[in-house]
């Protein structure tokens, strides 16, 4: 399960939510709420994620449903743990989500997943569907200004960046508790989606739908776990969205870091948190990927803000979703967490390919609650005792009330600061890749003015980041001065003809090439491969070498408009790098970089994801 990094639980088990309110004409303070803490509760889940091999006839039948053998194997594994199991749904990547009739500890759930894998050769992987939470930290001070934007010591120098860009043209997806239609946010909001499937968590009386507004995530005593305390609604997603992109120049409230950007609200967290499977589907949908049963997202995001997390290693399901988003050019910004521990112990902060944000206070030192370590990319203002982060909020203690403003602190607050800066960078230079964004954020960060060990490259610097983003486009060179006419000279000897440019290698897929072991070799690049999918279970594998420091661009096109072909990338040993499912009538384009000093061998897989079978072309170029 996942929780906001301001309630961040599995990634931030403690949710210390004491909020202050600042109203337009008068100010009042709310007494600190009871601490939301799951720190003393064991990690538990009542769901499993199981991915069956697409080329196996043992797991799924021709209609994509569980076979009799698979159902039997699942039940045997459940019996060993003394639980009943029921199939819930299919995920965007083809994995299946199962519900248990009672919650298991993570160790019990992992044992069940291992038992299931050992008992069914058709399973690619199985893992607990963990819970994640937001992570708010106690705040008892009322702030009337946004020091995080421009404070000389602890701020990010936003005003200087705004002289150049404001984020216009960029969409930031906020994967959180949903967003209220606050007057300071309404002009920024795009139609989002509610991904919460667990009715006990939803709080709105239904499952997935097109309403991403936050109904409130208040809980009663013992609702989330035995001994858990009652808590008021956090309005976490509304606060996070306001930090990233609240409107500016409208005469009210606060200004977001990228106040010209649009916000795509994706509700993935409800009461007690949110499941990894829901969050993974939201990541895929946010960037324009296909999710079963949902319409395609008409407003794909280039920046994804995940102020949430859960304890434990990065799950395969989560990593695959991240890989899919990165392959589509999206930047994922993730909270480090609020447990004062190494971020390597928190997911998705410990996943590959994400920008991980620690929190600093007004002095520029590491916030007292912030996680740290080698996984952290850089830090941003998240607030600390006496100076929290002011943003949009709601006055309702349970269900929605009036628009308001509140000061909170946590890595949940630091994360949208960086997401806003990324939006500014993309507004300055839309061609930047996720890896370029990460490199520029680190190289432009300013030195910490106070102690901040394990906080990454420095404090995010909006001014310098935008300046460097603009510089990568290249300045126009002045026209050269006219060259004086040369004196007559003897006719030169003919210039030798240049060596011919290497041509494109044309290949046709050649069977057998239906596994990594039998992958067809691609001897040189660029290459154009012509192939066809003969059946729904057909796969074509191609092996190539990616030189050091190079980026491979793979473009997959279906000859038939009714086909939807996907593409996967694997190491030579079979480890999956990414898997991008196909959409009927749409082409696929992925980029894979090799930043190392030696060449690597990759295997590309073409598969039928949706629609009809038929011919395809796969273009590979550096």
Annotated catalytic residue: which of 46, 176, 278, 403?
176
Residue 372 CA, chain-centre distance (Å), reads: 20
Same-domain pairing of 174 and 102: no
pLDDT of residue 491: 45
Residue 231: count other Cβ atoms within 10 Å of its Cβ. 26
Q: Which of 466, 399, 525, 423 lies closest to 168, judged by CA?
A: 423
Give bridge partners of residue 560 from the DSSP assignment: none
pLDDT of residue 42: 59
Which percentage of the chain shows pLDDT scores above 90?
Answer: 54
* Residues contacting 493, CB < 8 A, separation 6+: none
Residues 27 and 77 in one domain: no
**Does any domain span residue 463?**
no
Is the model's pLDDT at 474 over the cut of 70?
Answer: no
Can you name the residues that pair with 539 across neighbouring β-strands? 607
Of these residues, 129, 236, 563, 609, which one is catalytic?
236
Q: Are 580 and 330 in contact (CB under 8 A)?
A: no
Distances (CA, A) of 525 to 113, 499, 503, 621: 41, 17, 9, 6
323 vs 563, more confident: 323
Alpha-carbon 375 to chain mean position: 15
Could you give the CA distance from residue 179 to residue 238 in angstroms, rounded to a whole number?
5
The reported pTM is 0.66
> Are both 65 and 116 inside the same structural domain?
yes
Residue 328 sits in the same domain as residue 374: yes
69-78, 239-248, 572-581: the lowest-pLDDT one: 572-581
Least confident of 103-117, 215-229, 479-493: 479-493
Q: What is the DSSP letter of 8?
A: -
Residue-level pLDDT at 413: 97
- Across 520-547, average pLDDT: 91
The pLDDT-based confidence of 8 (bands split at 50, 70, 90) is: very low
What gap in Å lies between CA 24 and CA 500, rounded to an integer? 70
Note whether 186 and 54 are same-domain residues.
no
Task: Name the strand (E) or helix (H) holding 161.
Answer: helix 158-162
Residue 387 lies in a domain: yes
Which pLDDT tens digit goes with each residue over 299-354?
999 999 999 999 999 999 999 999 999 999 999 999 999 999 999 999 999 999 99
CATH number for the domain spanning 24: value is 3.40.50.200
Contact 2, 274 (CB under 8 A): yes
Which of 591, 580, 577 minimizes the C-alpha distance to 621? 591
Residues 269-286 have pLDDT tens digits of 999 999 999 999 999 999
Given pLDDT bands bounded at 50, 70 and 90, which one contains residue 572? confident
For residue 377, give its domain range.
Answer: 3-39+133-154+163-215+231-430
Strands 539-546 and 600-611: antiparallel
**Residue range 97-117: mean pLDDT, rounded:** 87
CATH number of 545's domain: 2.60.120.380
Asked which of 374, 397, 430 is the last residue of a domain, the reply is 430
Q: Flag whether 364 is in a domain.
A: yes
Q: Specify if 447 maps to a domain.
A: no
Residue 308 sits in the same domain as residue 277: yes
In this structure, what CATH number is given to the domain that contains residue 64?
Answer: 3.30.70.260
Residues 71 and 34 in one domain: no
DSSP state string for 528-556? EEEEEE-STT-EEEEEEEE-TT-EEEEEE
Q: What is the chain's length?
A: 622
Q: Which residues, other chains included, contact 465 with Cβ-Cβ below 8 Å and sequence gap of 6+? A: 161, 421, 424, 425, 440, 441, 444
Q: Are residues 143 and 171 in the same domain?
A: yes
Q: Identify which has the larger pLDDT, 399 or 578.
A: 399
- State the pLDDT at residue 465: 97
Q: What per-residue confidence (pLDDT) applies to 97? A: 92
Higher pLDDT, 30 or 371: 371
pLDDT top residue among 321 and 386: 321
* Element (DSSP H or E) covering residue 507: strand 505-508
**Does the annotation count 412 as an active-site position?**
yes
pLDDT of residue 63: 58
Spell out the residues 6+ positions from residue 78 whose beta carbon is closer than 8 angstroms to its own.
Answer: 84, 85, 100, 112
Task: List the single range of 370-374, 451-455, 547-551 with lowest mean pLDDT.
Answer: 547-551
In the DSSP assignment, the letter for residue 316 is H
**Pairwise pLDDT comparison (90 vs 521), residue with the higher score:** 521
Q: What percent of the chain has pLDDT over 70?
A: 84
Residue 131 pLDDT level (bands cut at 50, 70, 90): confident
In this predicted model, which residue has the larger pLDDT, 572 or 170? 170
Q: Measured between alpha carbons, how far is 121 from 541 in angstroms, rounded to an integer?
A: 21
Q: Lowest-pLDDT range, 9-18, 86-95, 116-125, 241-250?
A: 9-18
Which uninterrupted H or E stretch holds 114? helix 106-118
pLDDT-based confidence at residue 585 (cuts at 50, 70, 90): confident
- Got the DSSP string for 411-461? HHHHHHHHHHHHHHHHHH-TT--HHHHHHHHHHHPBPPSS--TT-TT-B--
Domain-terminating residue out of 430, 461, 485: 430
pLDDT tens digits for range 43-70: 788 898 999 887 555 556 655 567 777 7
Q: Which two tokens stand for residue 35?
A: 């601490």
**51 shares its domain with 34:** no
Beta strand spans in 39-142 (E): 44-52, 85-90, 96-105, 123-128, 131-132
CB atoms within 10 A of CB 220: 12
In this structure, is residue 464 part of a structural domain? no
**Same-domain pairing of 139 and 239:** yes
Are residues 10 and 105 both part of a single domain?
Answer: no
The CA-atom distances, in angstroms, between 411 and each of 20, 155, 381, 386 are 18, 15, 8, 16
Answer yes or no: is 308 within a domain. Answer: yes
Statement to judge: residues 173 and 249 lie in one domain: yes
Residue 416 lies in a domain: yes
- pLDDT value at residue 415: 98
Note if 236 is an active site residue: yes
pLDDT, the chain, mean: 83
Tell me how far apart the alpha carbons of residues 50 and 276 are, in angstroms, rounded to a whole number. Answer: 13
Q: What is the pLDDT of residue 86?
A: 87
Q: CA separation (Å) from 8 to 37, 50, 229, 593?
A: 10, 25, 16, 31
Return the number of other C-beta atoms located less than 10 Å from residue 242's C-beta.
33
Could you give the number of structural domains in the chain? 3
Instruction: Determine the pLDDT at residue 134.
Output: 66
Q: What is the pLDDT of residues 420-438, one digit of tens each?
A: 999 999 999 999 999 999 9
Residue 483 placed within a domain: no
């Amino acid at each position: 399960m996942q929780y906001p990094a301001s309630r961040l639980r599995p990634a931030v088990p403690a949710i210390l939510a004491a909020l202050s309110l600042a109203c337009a004409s008068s100010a009042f303070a709310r007494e600190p709420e009871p601490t939301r803490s799951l720190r003393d509760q064991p990690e538990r889940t009542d769901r499993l994620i199981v991915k069956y091999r697409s080329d196996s006839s043992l797991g799924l039948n021709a209609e994509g449903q569980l076979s009799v053998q698979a159902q039997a194997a699942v039940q045997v594994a459940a019996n060993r743990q003394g639980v009943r199991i029921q199939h819930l749904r299919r995920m965007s990547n083809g994995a299946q989500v199962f519900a248990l009739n009672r919650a298991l500890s993570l160790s019990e759930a992992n044992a069940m997943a291992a038992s299931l894998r050992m008992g069914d050769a058709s399973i690619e992987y199985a893992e607990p569907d963990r819970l994640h939470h937001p992570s708010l930290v106690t705040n008892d001070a009322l702030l009337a200004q946004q020091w995080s934007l421009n404070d000389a010591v602890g701020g990010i120098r936003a005003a200087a960046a705004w002289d150049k860009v404001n984020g216009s043209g960029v969409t930031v997806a906020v994967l959180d508790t949903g967003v209220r239609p606050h007057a300071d946010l309404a002009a920024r909001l795009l139609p989002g989606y509610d991904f919460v499937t667990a009715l006990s968590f939803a709080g709105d009386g239904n499952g997935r739908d097109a309403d991403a507004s936050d109904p409130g995530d208040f809980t009663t005593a013992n609702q989330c776990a035995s001994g858990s305390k009652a808590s008021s609604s956090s309005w976490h997603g509304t606060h996070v969205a306001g930090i990233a992109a609240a409107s500016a120049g409208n005469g009210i409230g606060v200004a977001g870091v990228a106040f010209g950007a649009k916000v795509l609200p994706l509700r993935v967290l409800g009461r007690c948190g949110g499941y990894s499977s829901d969050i993974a589907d939201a990541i895929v949908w946010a960037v324009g990927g296909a999710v079963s049963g949902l319409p395609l997202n008409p407003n794909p995001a280039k920046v994804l803000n995940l102020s949430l997390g859960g304890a434990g290693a990065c799950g395969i399901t989560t990593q695959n979703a991240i890989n899919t988003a990165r392959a589509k050019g999206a930047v994922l910004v993730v909270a480090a967490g609020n447990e004062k521990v190494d971020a390597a112990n928190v997911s998705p902060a410990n996943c590959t390919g994400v920008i991980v944000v620690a929190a600093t206070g007004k002095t520029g030192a590491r916030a007292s609650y912030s996680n740290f370590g080698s996984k952290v990319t850089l830090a941003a203002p998240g607030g600390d005792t006496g100076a929290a982060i002011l943003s949009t909020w709601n006055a309702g203690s349970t269900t929605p009330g009036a628009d308001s403003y509140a000061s909170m602190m946590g890595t949940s607050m630091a994360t949208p600061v960086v997401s806003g800066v990324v939006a500014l960078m993309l507004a300055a230079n839309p061609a930047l890749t996720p890896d370029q964004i990460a490199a520029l954020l680190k190289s432009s960060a300013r030195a910490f003015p106070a102690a901040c060990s394990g906080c990454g490259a420095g404090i995010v610097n909006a001014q310098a980041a935008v300046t460097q983003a603009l510089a990568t486009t290249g300045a126009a060179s002045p026209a050269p001065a006219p060259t004086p006419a040369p004196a007559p000279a003897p006719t030169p000897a003919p210039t030798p003809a240049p060596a011919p440019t290497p041509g494109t290698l044309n290949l046709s897929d050649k069977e057998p090439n239906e596994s990594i072991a039998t992958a067809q070799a691609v001897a040189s690049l660029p290459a154009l491969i012509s192939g066809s999918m003969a059946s729904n279970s057909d796969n074509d594998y191609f092996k190539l070498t990616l030189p050091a420091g190079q980026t491979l661009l793979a473009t997959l096109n279906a000859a038939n408009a009714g086909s939807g072909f996907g593409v996967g990338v694997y190491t030579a040993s079979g480890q999956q790098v990414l898997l991008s499912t196909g959409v009927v009538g749409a082409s696929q384009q992925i980029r894979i970089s090799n930043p190392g000093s030696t060449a690597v061998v990759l295997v590309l897989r073409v598969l039928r994801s949706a629609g009809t079978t038929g011919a395809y072309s796969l273009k590979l170029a550096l």
